[in-house]
């Protein structure tokens, strides 16, 4: 048992063999650096909407929440959102139009042709 722990300690703390691999992995992941996955889009939009509703008198907070909602709306034009929406429609029936987007954006996402390589 001590041998396994010693090897693990040396691997992690002394040689740091996995550290560079994880750094590259994170740098190449667009969902860590600049893009939002559909799940994060929904989470951010929900949080922004809640902030707007609980702080209507705070103009700065409302302004920031509106910016977040606009940011989230921009992601409804992407392929990842189209993929998610089409899967949600398939699994749960027609997905309602979300508060941070429009009927037209939802329809465009439904009509997006997804072409997978392979």
Give phi and psi for 15, each to the nearest 5: -90, -20
Q: How far is CA 79 from CA 6, 26, 38, 54, 82, in A?
A: 46, 21, 10, 33, 5
pTM of this prediction?
A: 0.69
Radius of gyration of the chain (CA): 21
CA angle 88, 66, 33 (to 5 degrees): 65
Is the confidence at residue 1, as pLDDT, over 90?
no
Q: What pLDDT, in 10s, does the model give residues 65-88?
A: 999 999 999 999 988 999 999 999
pLDDT digits (tens, 9 = 90+) for 6-65: 888 877 777 766 666 666 666 676 666 677 888 889 999 999 999 999 999 999 999 999
Extents of the domains making up the chain: 36-118
Structure tokens at 86: 């089409």
Please report the sign of the dihedral spanned by the C-alpha atoms of residue 109, residue 84, residue 30, residue 74.
positive
């Amino acid at each position: 048992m001590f041998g396994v722990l010693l090897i693990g300690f040396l691997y992690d703390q002394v040689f740091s063999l996995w550290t560079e691999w994880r750094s590259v992995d994170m740098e190449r992941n667009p969902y860590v650096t600049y893009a939002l996955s559909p799940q994060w889009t929904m989470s951010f939009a929900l949080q922004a909407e809640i902030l707007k509703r609980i702080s209507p008198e705070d103009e700065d907070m409302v302004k920031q929440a509106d910016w977040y909602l606009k940011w989230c709306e921009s992601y409804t034009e992407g392929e990842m959102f189209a993929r998610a929406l089409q899967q949600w429609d398939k699994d749960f029936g027609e997905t309602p139009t979300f508060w941070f987007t429009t009927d037209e954006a939802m329809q465009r996402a439904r009509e997006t042709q997804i072409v997978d390589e392979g």
